[in-house]
Amino acid sequence: TAYWSPLYFKAKDSGDHQMRHLDDRKSTMMAGLSYAHFTQYGYLRTTLAGDTLDNSNGIVWDMAWLYRYTNGGLTVTPGIGVQWNSENQNEYYYGVSRKESARSGLRGYNPNDSWSPYLELSASYNFLGDWSVYGTARYTRLSDEVTDSPMVDKSWTGLISTGITYKF
């Protein structure tokens, strides 16, 4: 599997004077392996991916249990999961180096690896033959390794995604 990680930080765009003195963090292409195991009680989805552009040299492991409900063309899939971020992943995106600390006045921070649980809900509707519309929402409770960073002022993050698909 391969996907573009949306994590990034542009110092010049920050509204905080101290944060403007930090280094930028670039988004990256992640690639790795995915696996799904289906049962009558739902399915296990897991993905292990690493940074392919050498920005963080980090690894992310995601594992979730989901259950698919289908009624006609409508499919709703709630799930619960956890995401593990390696120390390198957290250090790049949430760490504050000595040089950054000296420039910005923020305290230095060296996070370890982390586990962040999440809830997810996806829905899709097949409206015309091979055409479908979908939406996904995810609420993630950030781990202490992330929230303890002077760069972070929230305890959670959310994701909403929508789109249209066509089956070939």
Given the structure tokens 């499919």, which residue do they identify? 75
* Integer angstrom CA distances of residue 156 from 21, 95, 128, 131, 139: 24, 18, 37, 33, 7
Look up the CATH number of the domain holding residue 70: 2.40.160
- Tell me, what's the pLDDT at 64? 99
CB atoms within 10 A of CB 114: 20
Residue-wise pLDDT tens digits, 126-137: 999 899 999 999
- The residue among 120, 51, 35, 53 whose CA lies nearest residue 87 is 51
Residue-wise pLDDT tens digits, 80-109: 999 999 999 999 999 999 999 999 999 999
Joined together, the tokens standing for residue 53 give 């552009």
pTM of the model: 0.92
Task: Give the distance from CA 141 to its chain's centroid.
Answer: 11
Q: How many domains does the chain have?
A: 1
Full residue range of the structural domain in which residue 55 is found:
2-166
**Stretch 23-35: mean pLDDT, rounded?**
98
